[in-house]
Structure 1
């Protein structure tokens, strides 16, 4: 057999053996993965047909013990870690409580949490595509940031937010769909009137103040839906009418407005949300 072929086969065999050994080592290390004792509680309430996914991300505390070989990149990279939990949907408003570990370890690699990413997902219909999501997050800084929120005497801090459904014509399914926008409010549940200035739900805390505390997430569904694009629908007593866009593909209404029908749940409609204008 050609000597180059033999050398190639030998290299493949060695690579395969190395990969097998690497996977075996990682499998053994995974058995040592454990969460630390320090944690905080993420609790709250969600509207009907909403769910929450919380992903805690960890960075190495002991970099010298947290390196792992990446066969795709062909070099060592720093190990990272994450924990993920979700609440699931309910057909009624529901409470949840999640335990968020602030540190974890794999073998000799010790890691600490630096962020909890929040994914809020709502569903507005029975079809698979009739869902949408909004993002938020909890930052965990090494020391307490200036102006960081204060916990109550009971060790609780409440984050409030409204989730608003924004309706539009879904470009893939060519019928009415909705996007979800979740924004923080003040203590009196007021939203910034300027939609562009609204902030996603979240805050940043110091790591040393979080153990044993509770971050309470109070999410409510805004009672009034809005068009996704301003000046693309016009409101009438009977509901929202969809405008024919301006020439050149501009989303805004023509002047004077020309209205058109649209599909909603397979029906041809003239207004949203009632589909058809009700006789007076």
Structure 2
């Protein structure tokens, strides 16, 4: 199948006087992130030989296109091509993977980040029940909820967080797996695909039996001492340790830090 570099050409009559003219179908769509504050993303668009093509790309080089990768200028939104030709082989977009990145302590001395993934498939054809919809405003939307899971690391027990993201429907009901949807190649020209991510209201411990729920938050079990990196509670709900926040505060309750201790290691 032959794919035109700038998209398929459609013809239509523009009026009795003007006659008929060729109208170029866009060869791209726009990805739009709708994320919480201090969230960013990078994106990988993967291509395969178009339907009916028997060619291949040596080593697969050039079949993936990255956006917002390291040393790239950050852009939001991103414009993604539907068709491209590499090594003489016409390719069609097959999958888009979005790396959802949450940043902690952006203005603090100890800044770090964590991430999880969302994606959408793009196929020549899809059964209707598997196909995402495009709204009247020209946007396809899919949804997810991300949650911070907290833990401590190192002998001083610094707080760190792991991001996990789950699929969500338009009514806010959580599902299994990562945020995901699918579209056909003919749905997307000139349209937008928007990923809406909400942040869970509460954080939870990353690992079970390491924190105890108390008024105002969570207390960290001491375990065998500060050198004990796992420090499971094992039923001991009286011996707790301090920990350090990103801004170096020493606390005993997370996240409120309502009780401060000056005798932390």
**Given the two structures, how large is their TM-score scaled by the length of structure 1?**
0.69
2:141 corresponds to:
158
CA distance in 2, matches of 1:172, 1:133: 24
- Among 79, 88, 103, which residue is 1:108 paired with? 88
Alignment of 1:62-211 (within 5 A): 62-64=53-55, 66-68=56-58, 77-86=59-68, 96-125=76-105, 126-127=108-109, 130-148=112-130, 149-170=132-153, 174-191=157-174, 198-211=176-189
**Distance apart, 1:147 and its partner CA:** 1.6
Q: How many residues align structurally?
A: 225
CA distance in 2, matches of 1:188, 1:101: 30
Structure 2 regions of 5+ residues with no counterpart?
8-25, 261-265
Q: Which protein is richer in helix relative to its size? A: 1
1:277 corresponds to:
259
CA distance in 1, matches of 2:127, 2:156: 45
**Distance apart, 1:124 and its partner CA:** 1.0
Change (3 A) 1:249 1:262: closer
Change (3 A) 1:147 1:53: same
- Among 39, 47, 64, which residue is 1:50 paired with? 39
2:263 corresponds to:
none
CA distance in 2, matches of 1:188, 1:206: 24
Task: Specify the SS of the correspondent of 1:147.
Answer: helix
1:71 corresponds to:
none
Q: Deviations over 1:227-270 (max 9, x none)?
A: 11233211211321012349x99764221423222232334321
1:262 corresponds to:
243
CA distance in 1, matches of 2:146, 2:85: 36
Change (3 A) 1:251 1:222: same
CA distance in 1, matches of 2:155, 2:231: 17
Structure 1 regions of 5+ residues with no counterpart?
1-33, 69-76, 89-94, 193-197
**Given the two structures, how large is their TM-score scaled by the length of structure 2?**
0.72
CA distance in 2, matches of 1:249, 1:211: 51
Task: Specify the SS of the correspondent of 2:172.
Answer: coil
CA contact (8 A) 1:50 1:121 kept: yes
CA contact (8 A) 1:51 1:86 kept: no
Task: Specify the SS of the correspondent of 2:254.
Answer: coil
Moved over 3 A (4+): 34-37, 61-64, 77-80, 126-129, 171-174, 248-252, 265-268
CA distance in 1, matches of 2:164, 2:123: 26
CA distance in 2, matches of 1:78, 1:239: 50
Change (3 A) 1:131 1:35: farther
CA contact (8 A) 1:168 1:177 kept: yes
